[in-house]
Amino acid sequence: MSSRYRRPLAWAVALGLTWLVGYPLLLTLLEALGAPLDLTVDNFAAFAERGDEWQALWRSLWISAASVALAALVGVPLAFVFARLEFPGRRLLGGLIALPVALPPLVGVIAFLFLFGESGFLSRGVQAALGLETPPWRLQGAGAILLVHAYSMYVYFYLFVRAGLARLDGAMEEAAAILGAGRARTLFRVTLPLLLPALVGAALLTFMTSLASFSAPYIFGGGFRVMTTQIVASKLNGEIAMAQVETVTLALLAFAGLWAMRRVDPGRRVVVGGVRGAAPRRRVLKRPGARLAAAGLGWGLTFVMLLPHLTLLLISSVPPDTWTVETLPPVLDGGNYAVLAASPERLRPVLNSLWMAAVATAGAVALGLMAADLSVKLRGRLGTALETLLAVPWAVPGTVFAIALATAFSVRAPLAGRFVLVGTAWILPLAYLVRSLPLTGRSALAGLRQLDPAMAEAAASLGAGGWRTLWQVRLPLLRPALLAGAGLAFITALGDFVTSIVLYTYDTRPISIEILSSLRLQDTGVAAVYGVLLMVLSAAAFLPRSGEEAI
Amino acid sequence: MPSFLEIDRLSKSFGEHRVLDRVSLEVAAGEVLVLLGPSGSGKTTLLRLLAGFESADEGALRVAGDEISGLPPSRRGFGMVFQHYALFPHLSVGENVAFGLESRGGGEARASRIAEVLAMVDLEGFERRRVHELSGGQQQRVALARALAPGPKLLLLDEPLSNLDPSLRERTRSELRRALARVSMTAVWVTHEQDEAFAVGDRVALLNGGRLEQLGPPEELYLEPCTRFVAGFLGRASSLVGVLNENGEFEIGDARFAGHGARWPASAAEQLAPGTRVEAVFRPEGLQLADPDEEENVLTGKVTSRRYAGEATFYEVEMGVGGRLLVAAGSTAAKTGDRVAVAPRHGGPLPRLFSEAAE
């Protein structure tokens, strides 16, 4: 595009993004303050007077902090094992063990239900082994939520720390060793401080994800309410104003978390010099005992991490009403899959999810690429504003966005940029699009920043115009980055539960909502089939990428 | 000189690839030994074995008579300057230097030792600076100060100058060498640059393909190379192939080469039997250009290229007997296309004879 139109176009894109991202949040804040009739803090005062609101707030915070600690406890040692030791199967397992991150949250939760729940495999097994009358535990409350969080979020620590270790100059640890430092001192004084950016990044991501987590508290929480489930409960009870106040509170909490973590982000302080050596070679375990132990640990852990996936597969093959008191299901067949394939009514959510995710992804890629490109070219304040607008939905919990969109688009006021979209087929694709923007925008930004400007200049020097340069040079070079972003955006939209539960209509109900209603109808087999479907599609979008990293 | 460090038939393989093959050498106390060789020659592996980052498959390492192979790097008491310096970016200059002084206790003594070594590398008062605020040359000096601070028994240097601008390299090299001399540090210095090796090394060990080709002072390696590889790797060299006749003279075309005192003296790296095919390696400064009609016992040829290099001009001469020679001469000695004779330059390096099979 010509540089003459660049600035007006950037303003247009910024305006569009503000309308999608900032405006709904602002409207929610205003309505929580009593607008348009009034301007008052009465709603907030009502919020502050209720003990259960404070309790939910406190629970959200401590659950998030505990999730960070647990995820680090699992993910960091795993990263060291896979980055530093060489044992049979390391490459394959190193990729597989990152799979839980690709599991849509609701699918992970129902897999846990089938595995650890009262009538899950494990509880039945333990009950049978010990000869108990009742199930040995109930999968409920804070413990259950933390279990699911640790399981699905250790991957952030694992991936970040592995990447950090791969970038770490091996000479750093050698320098420490030759200066007389033993293993422990090298680890605590050199390796971990150098990994601090990775650790802080993973902690930030875990904290924010946990704060926004909805599926686990919704399914396992019972009376244990956190902010996200509190918001949805208020909305379902018709306490719209209260839901809006809670939404504003949770959004502020998320922004505060983001701001705090940004402040301590040591990435800016530690600039590693221009030249670096290579990462240390992996230690090849020579003693057969050690090799066997490492391989056993690796395989064992991977098996544990993949147990929920396997459980889903198994449950999806149990015909209805055949599994009652036995420890293991007596009959397995593909009947549930056949039921789904034969019933248009049950295929409907799958088609819904597919088209809505596709539309949202296409829109998010186009908008993300355009905004990222303008942001890189313009720099300055407008460029920063575009980049910030792209990133904001990442910090904002899905529940918050769902309420904000429901607030903004349930009123017809075209002059104020408000239309009635709630209750139509367009609200969910729009919600998915906004939620996917940080994913597509960030990968487009990363791709554009790695793009050598000399490429476009070379094309121009050879006589190619702006469009030809775009189609034949820049887009092909950006393709890996765009595909990666699109893949993530697609699986996020496909498996979305948190915004869907607030905004869906019966005709556009997505897979996640259908999973929930199947569970309510005790139709576990069909629910598992939907879960398997999401799992396979997500893994397909995720695995090729993790394979590259796992070298 | 009594040897301080003994490397005794050290071997190391990575998988099937033998990167170090029974290398033995000794380093005297206070000596700077340079490990020189092309990439893949095993010089870096040898240094890493000394540091303890790798363990040898066979052979022994002794310091002052004590076997150290079993000791981890942290207990060898060596210092090391890394190629990319490996300064800890999260620590200040002072904290970097202090890292190896942990066992010395804290307080005054430590602070004064830090100041002392920083002064030694001309970085007084840099304690609180961040590593990334320093220039490449300053980082290099901090790396040296950090390595010297604990008073190591032996200093290992892994291509310490390779990350500096060429303009800075020569000055830093002599500063570094002086700093080592001042504390009589025993050092093993790895480089792939001949200039650097000759400038800093009391002795140079030339490695190739995991084997020690030759060990000695720089002049010895340059003037009396033991192998064809050493002759070719160091300095500029060109060669001709001929036969050794019954008189023990190397004969090529009309020219005869014999031992010291002859019209065209030569030296041999090994005992050569008459009838052997022999390769004679010439240094450009051991040759001169002459009038093709006047001299006897000369080789004639045609100048195919001329390259002016400031301190000398190099002429490539295509010889009538086959092959090419590189001759250093004045800048107006000949033009491209001239017919010239090539004669020995008296006082210059002698041609070195190797049996052709040896290569």
Instruction: Identify all chain B residues contacting A276, using CB atoms and an 8 Å cutoff.
Output: 84
CA distances from B63 to A434, A513, A534, B4 (A): 67, 73, 64, 6
Q: Tell me how far apart the alpha carbons of residues A538 and A541 are, in angstroms, rounded to a whole number.
A: 5
Q: Which of A275-279, A502-506, B247-251 has the lowest mean pLDDT?
A: A275-279
**Minimal C-alpha gap between A336 and chain B (Å):** 52
Chain B residue with the nearest C-alpha to that of A193: B90
Residues making up chain A, counted from first to last? 551
Contact B52 A177 (CB under 8 A): yes
Calculate mean pLDDT across residues A405-433. Answer: 90
Sequence letter at residue B260: H
Q: What is the pLDDT of residues B36-92, one digit of tens each?
A: 999 889 999 999 999 999 999 999 999 999 999 989 999 999 999 999 899 998 899
Mean pLDDT of B166-195: 92
What per-residue confidence (pLDDT) applies to A85? Answer: 85
CA distance A530 to A81: 34
How does pLDDT run across B216-255, given as a tens digit for each residue? 999 999 999 999 999 999 999 999 988 888 877 888 877 7
Q: How sure is the predictor about A42, in pLDDT bands with cuts at 50, 70 and 90?
A: confident
For residue B344, what are the β-bridge partners?
B287
- The per-residue pLDDT of chain A, averaged, comes to 86
- Strands across the sheet containing B324-329: B287-290, B339-344, B299-308, B313-319, B324-329
**Count of residues for chain B?**
359
Answer whether B84 sits within 8 Å of A193, measured CB to CB.
no
Cβ separation of B150 and A189 shorter than 8 Å?
no
Tokens of residue B13, six digits: 């393989």
For position B358, what pLDDT does the model report?
46
What 3-state class would DSSP assign to B64? Answer: coil
Closest CA to A400 of A147, A263, A208: A208
Confidence category of residue B295, pLDDT binned at 50, 70, 90 = low
The per-residue pLDDT for B117 is 93
Decide if pLDDT at B213 tops 90: yes
What Cα–Cα distance (Å) separates residue A348 from each residue in A299, A351, A492? 39, 5, 19
* Helix and strand element counts for chain B (H, E): 8, 21
A-chain residues within 8 Å CB-CB of B147? 179
Which residues make beta-bridge pairs with B256?
B251
Cβ <8 Å between B88 and A194? yes
Q: Check residues A63 and A205 and name the one with the higher pLDDT.
A: A63
> What band does A274 get if pLDDT is binned at 50, 70 and 90?
very low
Query: Taking Cα atoms as reference points, which of B183, B181, B188 lies closest to residue B204?
Result: B188
The b-or-e profile of B30-46 (16+ CB within 10 A means b, else e) is: ebbbbbbbeeebbbbbb
Residues of A in contact with B52 (CB under 8 A): 177-178
Structure tokens at B46: 């040898």
Kindly state whether B163 is in contact with chain A, defined as any CB-CB distance less than 8 angstroms. Answer: yes
- Angle at CA B133, nearest 5°, toward B118 and A192? 90
pTM here?
Answer: 0.82
Task: Name which of A174, A180, A266 is nearest B86 (Cβ-Cβ).
Answer: A174
- pLDDT over threshold 90, residue B152: yes
* CB-based contact, B12 to chain A, within 8 Å: no
Residue-level pLDDT at A271: 39
B58: phi then psi, degrees, rounded to nearest 5: -140, 165
The beta-carbon neighbor of B88 closest among A172, A182, A185 is: A172
SS (H, E, C) A111-124: HHHHHHCCCCHHHH
Q: What is the pLDDT of residue B144?
A: 94
CB contact under 8 A, A277 and B72: no
Q: A131: pLDDT confidence band, cut at 50, 70 and 90? A: confident
> Which residue among B82, B90, B156 sits closest to A270, beta carbon to beta carbon?
B90
Question: Distances in Å between the alpha carbon of B11 and those of A284, B23, B54, B78?
Answer: 19, 7, 11, 21
- Higher per-residue pLDDT: A275 or A251: A251
Instruction: Mutate one of B48, B57, B74 to test the A interface: name it (highest A CB count within 10 A).
Output: B74
Model confidence pLDDT, tens digit, residues A174-229: 999 999 999 999 999 999 999 988 898 889 889 989 999 999 999 998 889 999 99
The mean pLDDT value for A448-469 works out to 82
Chain A contacts to B (CB-CB under 8 A)? 169, 171-172, 174-182, 185, 189-190, 193-194, 196, 266, 270-273, 275-277
B102 touches chain A (CB under 8 A): yes
DSSP character string of A455-518: HHHHHHHTT--HHHHIIIIIHHHHHHHHHHHHHHHHHHHHH--TTHHHH--STT--HHHHHHHH
Higher pLDDT, B196 or A458: B196
Residue that wins the pLDDT comparison between A71 and B295: A71
Q: What is the pLDDT of residue A427?
A: 93
Min Cα separation A174/chain B (Å)? 7
Assess whether pLDDT exceeds 90 at residue B143.
yes
User: Which of A85-99, B194-208, B266-280 is the most confident on average?
Assistant: B194-208
β-partners of residue A391 are none
Q: What pLDDT is recorded for position B9?
A: 95
Could you tell me what percentage of chain A is helix, strand and coil, using 3-state DSSP and rounding each to the nearest 5?
75, 0, 25
pLDDT at A272: 44
Selecting from B83, B84, B150 the residue whose C-beta is nearest the C-beta of A179 gives B150
